[in-house]
Amino acid sequence: MIYVSPHRKFDTISGVSSSDSRFSQDYFIPDVAIMGRLSDMFACAFTYTRPFGGDSEYGPQAQTADLISSPPTSYSSKKFHTNEYGATCDVSFELGKGRLHFIGGGFMQDFDYEAVANIGTLRLEDDSAFGYRLGVGYDIPEYALRAQLMYRSEVKHEADGDFTTNPLLGLPAVLDASGHGSLPQSLKLSLQSGVAPGWLVYGSVEWTDWSVLQTLNYNIDILGDRQDVYNWRDGWTIMAGVGHQFTDKIAGTVNIRWDRGVGTGADIMTDTWTVGAGAAIDCGPGQLRLGGAVSYLTSGSQSLGDGATFDATADGDWAYALTANYTIKF
């Protein structure tokens, strides 16, 4: 389980100092896995997580700017999340001093979106869309050496839902709605190696094809075609860390991570720098893992000319995360 508390707020809105509180809201990321090794060569894992999501609530100043710049609609909140249910298997063979791994599996992903505006509330839902992951890896346990390349496919969503109208519009109370959009493919290279007794270094580089999400397109009966504009670019994440085995039962790690901002001016999605630390403790039949992280969100801006619904800027902000999980292997 991961708990994230981002504190992103607008510092100016339409050129005026903002008094609105933060718009980014706290959220949880569940992470459940059941893993089993059926033989020395074959293992599988069944997983559940929320790979994508976000929750924003806008203050009165932002809502007013939204209404003035993009009438007649003014949003007070937007949120979405996805649930992923996956099955992934690993087939491995001895090769040299280590083992070569071929990894593959599929997953089902749903999608829920809600946008609350002055003219009504839009809800869109896709119960099931499907994707896959493929990978290859090699490890030499004697040296704590491991390398893995993993690909996760793009997922295209076709959503249905409804729009609950504001009674002042004089329209039917509920209108049918539908929408479509894609969530990105990604490719991740992970490396680790022992460097001294009880010590290892590790790192990863990940590319995420966020440029596939230029818009979320939807249609509301009577009101017609509409879209949310993102105009995102590809994301890159680079992470490096060091781990140490303190005792037979306790290990720790520290790492640093950089995420390239995917925003291009339609919203404020800027570069993020994160420092994290964690501990792994063998207790009972499994292992308890605890961690925490602090992130710095660099400054940025959005503008009408780049697809935003109003002009705004943000100074550097902070985000915080806590993680906890317990693993039992069989």
Q: What is the pLDDT of residues 139-168, one digit of tens each?
A: 999 999 999 999 999 999 999 999 999 998
- Report the CATH number that the domain containing residue 249 is assigned in CATH: 2.40.160.60
Convert the pLDDT of each residue in 167-191 to its tens digit.
988 899 999 999 999 999 999 999 9
Segment 1-5 mean pLDDT: 95
% the chain with pLDDT above 70: 99
* pLDDT for position 330: 63
- DSSP 8-state symbol, 174: E
Segment 56-81 mean pLDDT: 94
102 vs 163: CA distance, rounded Å: 46
Q: What is the DSSP string of 184-243?
A: --EEEEEEEEEEETTEEEEEEEEEE-GGG-SEEEEEETTTEEEEEE-----EEEEEEEEE
- Domain of 97 in residue numbering reads as 2-327
The answer to whether residues 328 and 32 touch, using CB atoms and an 8 Å cutoff, is no
Does 36 have pLDDT greater than 90? no
**How many independent structural domains does the chain possess?**
1
Does 72 have pLDDT greater than 90? no
Burial per residue of 155-172, b for 16 or more beta-carbon CB atoms within 10 angstroms, e otherwise: bebebebbbebeeeeebe
- DSSP 8-state symbol, 24: B
82 vs 157: CA distance, rounded Å: 11
Does 27 have pLDDT greater than 90? yes
Q: Report the amino acid identity of residue 75.
A: Y
Segment 57-83 mean pLDDT: 95
Is the model's pTM score more than 0.95? no
Mean of all residue pLDDT scores within the chain? 96
